[in-house]
Amino acid sequence: MKNIHYISRDILDIQTINTIITNHYTIELSEEARVNINSARKYLDDKIANSDTPFYGINTGFGSLYNVKINRQELAQLQENLVISHACGVGEKVDDTIVKIMLLLKIQSLSYGNSGVDLATVERLVDFFNHDILPVVYSQGSLGASGDLAPLAHLSLPLLGRGEVIYKGKRVEAKKVLKERNWEALTLKSKEGLALLNGTQFMSAHAVFALIETYKLFYLADAIGAVSVDAFDCNLSPFDPLVHEIRPHRGQISTAQRIMEFLQGSEIAKQVKEHVQDPYSFRCIPQVHGASKDALDFVCKTVKTEINSVTDNPNIFIDEDKIISAGNFHGQPLALALDYLAIAVAEIGNISERRTFQLVSGLRKLPMFLVDNPGLNSGFMIPQYTAASIVSQNKQLCSPASVDSIVSSNGQEDHVSMGANAATKLIKVVENLKSILAIELFNASQAIKYREPLKSSEFIESFVNAFRAEVPFVEKDKLMADEIHKAIDFLNRFSIDEELLYE
């Protein structure tokens, strides 16, 4: 029996999207959504038939051509021209999962009945989603202001039998897929092209994808940090709840609690320490990880609002008998949030690399570079270099996109968010964090071996043993890149209960 998600006014959240995508749900329009879509379309058709009033993008040109009136016989051609002319994307092909999320979010936004699209158009988008017909979309071309125009044009081209799609694992012309499925290419009605192209679904889909990954990586950062705490023979007193009750940031409190739970019962933690204090990268895990988690929560709330919104233009309000041209397509809320998340993610990588640095420094009875016979063996010297390099790249990627703006459309679109650039570079920062954490776990699992015969907690022992089954203890120099890639694969496959991720 297939899992089905019904598109309705019910709030769509990150967990739900993750479930839909991961478990290969099909989607269907609820009866409520169908009524909303049909009502808005009928209202728009009646309005155009009975009025000569110019409505932006419906019977006028676009952008700075907003004053050019289009006659009724050319309204369909106007919409097709819009989609074709705006498909100007370049750069890398967007990840298939992100494109699938784009389809879902575009369907959700069009379902509220404020866009004026034809039901057949939304149903075709649903068909694309359900049959994994994923338009080829490019990563560059959006200013994140009049919606994600270029990427959404590429998302829409296959509806017209144009452009390319990924189908059954192959990149093929959209018209061939339509022919195979006996589907006619759509002829867009008035306003439909604009409804498809205006919107923030490129930015939003990247944001959703990044959030799903980040929740998992932040949990892993705590778990790997806990391994490092025992591997470096640290005090647990900085994680005492009394400390965090007097500075009660939510993320800080939950991080300290989680570290204590991870290390509960550790023999290493219980032994008397020769040192009274630990470096900040260990001692301040609650404060640093916690601050990034609080940022993550803020971004999640912003994105949740965005993906449950109507972000095309103009907007149709049937009960009020109004068609309003405004600016809900402007990506500023997302641009600021995505820049913030990139910084929060980068900081988790920053402190992780510092723990790696401490572990290889020959301190606290650990051998230099965590290997026997250092000198003959370089051991873990260069994995730390690699982590440092990636951390430095993340710092460069964290230069905010949202403070930039370039005038476009002959001055009509004179302030843009650059949220699409914030979105695409965020994905790279998140990917980089995974590599940094994999390198820390590689180092920490090696270092904690030198604490034997003392054992860590049951959780840490189980976690490290699972890791060592794929990335064994390094006795002498070997090809470390292979081990690092295995460590990254381990994190990719590591399964975590969703209740732990979103708590």
Q: Does the pLDDT of residue 51 top 90, yes or no? A: no
Between the two ends of the chain, the Cα-to-Cα distance in Å is 30
Nearest by Cα to 22 from 95, 134, 106, 97: 97
Three-state secondary-structure class, residue 447: helix
* pLDDT at res. 199: 95
DSSP string, 31-93: HHHHHHHHHHHHHHHHHHHT-----TTTSB-SGGGTT-B--GGGHHHHHHHHHHHH---EEEE
Q: Looking at residue 367, what DSSP letter applies?
A: P
Q: What angle do CA 136, 13, 104 make, to 5 degrees?
A: 25
| pLDDT tens for each residue of 294-317 | 999 999 999 999 999 999 999 999
Q: 4-199, which class in CATH?
A: mainly alpha
What percentage of the chain carries pLDDT values higher than 90? 86
Residues 18-23, mean pLDDT to the nearest whole number = 96
Label each residue of 89-126 as H, E or C.
CEEEECCHHHHHHHHHHHHHHHCCCCCCCCHHHHHHHH
323, 47 contact by CB (below 8 A):
yes
Q: Does the pLDDT of residue 62 top 70, yes or no? A: no
Residue spans of the domains in the chain: they are: 4-199, 206-501
Q: 206-501, which class in CATH?
A: mainly alpha
Q: What is the pTM of this model?
A: 0.96
Residue with the larger pLDDT of the pair 18 and 146: 18
Give the model's confidence band at 63: pLDDT under 50 very low, under 70 low, under 90 confident, else very high: low
What span, in angstroms and rounded, lies between the C-alpha atoms of 296 and 315?
Answer: 31
Residues 150-161, mean pLDDT to the nearest whole number = 98
56 is catalytic: yes
Tokens 């923030």 label which residue?
Answer: 200
Q: Does the pLDDT of residue 397 top 90, yes or no? A: yes
- 140 beta partners: 90
| pLDDT tens for each residue of 257-283 | 999 999 999 999 999 999 999 999 999
Tokens 């897929």 label which residue?
Answer: 177
* pLDDT at res. 454: 97
Give the model's confidence band at 57: pLDDT under 50 very low, under 70 low, under 90 confident, else very high: low
Choosing from 43, 56, 112, 215, the catalytic residue is 56
